[in-house]
A and B are shown apart, each in its own frame.
Chain A
Amino acid sequence: MQTKTVNQKAWFLVLPVLVLVAFSAVIPLMTVVNYSIQDTFGGEFFSLEDKLMWFREMLESQRMWDALGRQLMFSGIILAIEVPLGVFVALNMPKSGFWASFCLVMMSLPLLIPWNVVGTIWQIFGRVDIGLLGNTLDALGIDYNYTQDTFDAWVTIIVMDVWHWTSLVALLAYAGLKSIPDAYYQAAEIDQASRWKVFRYIELPKMMGVLMIAILLRFMDSFMIYTEPFVVTGGGPGNATTLLSIDLVKMALGQFDLGPAAAFSIMYFLVILAISWVFYTVMTNLDKRGM
């Protein structure tokens, strides 16, 4: 890493970003904070006790904890599938030439589809009457209905997420693999290292940096996922697939419970903030080690 000159005038260069982000992030965030300590319908709170009422109400509400539980389960499952699968795919990708480009373009395609179209694609694909997946499963005699059955709904949104985002993990792992010099493999061949050992002691350590980014990006984005599962299941059946963001939008825009929704938002954001901090620390440490 290059050494940097101390120069306070550099602040002028970041000023535009500061102004813009202040407008599009700080002002809205202050509105949220404001709601969280006020009664939306005109009543005024005076004591600190009252001001924290919404927070207490949310912390005590089973609804939020349930949504958080479902959210953690969702993020956990998709990470457990996408990371190993992505690495596996990356290991099998062609190294160069036409087919490498072909695979790269094909794999990136799901990443560029608007999120509600991703939802629509799977909504159609899974329908028993007109979808290929639903119809095939039905023909095989498997009782599959993602709008009625909790398990089927979960399988559908997880397979959808795997379809949508595994390529991201694969692309990052692939970029990590490509940065390994040939000499490493030649040395391994001389040592007659097994395929597993090559992976364990050469490829995996070299991929660690980008893999870390992949895992944390996937964790973040799955933690705030909204559109795709909402289009497919609408949070149902019942509340079975109501993840945090879906619940929040339901509360804020659907029921207009602004106070509790704002308190919910702030706690949601604090969780993300804590995780972002871990993300940032891990990444800067990896940067320092020169990866």
Chain B
Amino acid sequence: MSDATTTTPRIPEDLTAGGTRRRVKVRGSVVVMTLYLLFLMLPIYWLLNMSLKTNTEILNSFTLWPSDLTLANYRTILTDPSWYMGYVNSIIYVTMNTVISLAVALPAAYAFSRYSFLGDKHLFFWLLTNRMAPPAVFALPFFQLYSSVGLFDTHIAVALAHTLFNVPLAVWILEGFMRGVPKEIDETAYIDGYSFGKFFVKIFMPLIASGIGVAAFFCFMFSWVELLLSRTLTSVDAKPIAAIMTRTQGASGIDWGVLAAAGILTILPGALVIYFVRNYIAKGFALGRV
């Protein structure tokens, strides 16, 4: 950062005015982005830092990096089934949710992008309202609904509950991507004698593969980060990791090291998948409308 301010005046004066301006601007951007990314990374770094310390070090000395580096906190989590099953549970219901959401959203998105039918606009709006429904409103009714049909504390209950906001989202994103595919492709395929199902799977789906990827990513993400519903609908067998984390509060106070390690491990899956969709993230957030 400091070199940006010191090098700027040293730019030779024989450069064109435009050149100088561009140079200064680029340096300015670097400073802004460095500061912003620093702001984003500092809290995460602090969590990482704590996860690698012993509790004694956390509580008794204030250090910017672990002086006594330990992996014991991670070992605690990865060797104790009551901990690591939380990750397994989360991954199971997130995967189920993604599959269900995409399976029902694909044909619906196709219908919305290609045909107009009675009530289509109202239906689309109604789907949107579900994306906007506060989970807090649904927590208690969901609890009663899934208890009464005997699905309480199962993965499928959470997966179904999360379809509330993921299906509308998936329909939206997919519709946005499908709109970009020319209709002539459909018509040609039908003339060539393809049935709808065959056309959809063999021709259409590969064409919107990136859209499906983005929709899957967003379903994964929103199911992964949600806690209120998944916590309300589970007690033991399907409890997500995010809810298990709260139990580090024992009689002897909070086990900060393990809590931090658990937190870091919940960030990893997102960090891994994000690389693959980095160029489509914005398009997905814009619901396929950039």
Contacts and interface: CB of A to CB of B under 8 A. Distances in A.
Interface of A: 1-2, 4-11, 13-14, 16-18, 20-21, 23-25, 27-29, 31-32, 88-89, 91-94, 101, 103-117, 120-122, 124-125, 129-133, 135, 163, 167-168, 171-172, 174-176, 179, 189, 195, 209-210, 213-214, 217, 220, 223-224, 226-227, 244-246, 248-249, 252-253, 258, 261, 265, 268-269, 272-273, 275-277, 279-280, 283, 287
A203 B270 CA distance: 31
Nearest to A256: B140
A25 B108 contact: no
A31 B108 CA distance: 27
Given A25-B133, A217-B285, A112 B274 contact: yes
Contacts of A172: 282, 285-286, 290
Contact of B281 (A13, A171, A210): A171
A7 B117 contact: yes
Given A8-B118, A117-B263, A122-B43, A213 B282 contact: no
B15 interface: no
A133 B163 CA distance: 37
Contact of B140 (A6, A261, A272): A261
B47 A124 contact: yes
Contact of A113 (B108, B228, B266): B266
A21 B282 contact: no
A130 B167 CA distance: 41
Interface stretch (B77-85, B141-149, B208-216): B141-149
Interface string B165-176: 001100100000
A111 to B, nearest CB: 7
B245 A31 contact: no
B33 to A, nearest CB: 6
A213 B286 contact: yes
23 contacts: A10-B114, A10-B117, A14-B111, A14-B112, A24-B163, A109-B40, A109-B44, A110-B44, A115-B242, A117-B242, A120-B263, A121-B47, A130-B62, A132-B64, A163-B40, A172-B286, A172-B290, A175-B290, A210-B282, A224-B134, A261-B140, A269-B134, A280-B125
Identify the interface centre among B145, B221, B228, B232: most chain A CB within 10 Å of its CB.
B228
Contact of A10 (B18, B32, B111): B111
A92 to B, nearest CB: 4
Contacts of A120: 47, 245, 259, 263
B225 A113 contact: yes
A252 B62 CA distance: 41
A115 B167 contact: no
A16 to B, nearest CB: 4
Nearest to A223: B134
Nearest to B33: A92
Contacts of B161: 24
A265 to B, nearest CB: 4
B115 A4 contact: yes
Which of the four size classes fits the interface of chain B? 35 or more
Identify the interface centre among B41, B43, B221: most chain A CB within 10 Å of its CB.
B43
Contacts of A122: 43
Given A13-B111, A105-B275, A21 B267 contact: no
Contacts of A280: 125, 128
Interface stretch (B6-14, B66-74, B98-106): B98-106
Contact of A115 (B138, B226, B273): B226
B279 interface: yes
B2 interface: no
Interface string B42-55: 11101100100000
Majority SS at the chain A contact face: helix
Given A101-B278, A227-B227, 5 more contacts: A7-B115, A27-B145, A112-B270, A114-B224, A168-B285
A53 B65 CA distance: 58
B130 A2 contact: no
Contacts of A115: 225-227, 242
B279 A121 contact: no
A24 B286 contact: no
A109 B267 contact: yes
Contacts of B285: 168, 171-172, 213-214, 217
Contacts of A111: 221, 270
Contacts of B62: 130, 135
Nearest to B271: A109
B140 A276 contact: no
B256 A124 contact: yes
A265 B242 CA distance: 25
Contact of A132 (B42, B182, B282): B42
Nearest to B277: A108
A56 B137 CA distance: 19
A248 B137 contact: yes
A269 B133 contact: yes
A115 B241 CA distance: 12
A174 B290 CA distance: 10
B234 to A, nearest CB: 14
Contact of B163 (A20, A92, A176, A265): A20
A108 B277 CA distance: 10
A25 B166 CA distance: 12
A21 B135 contact: no
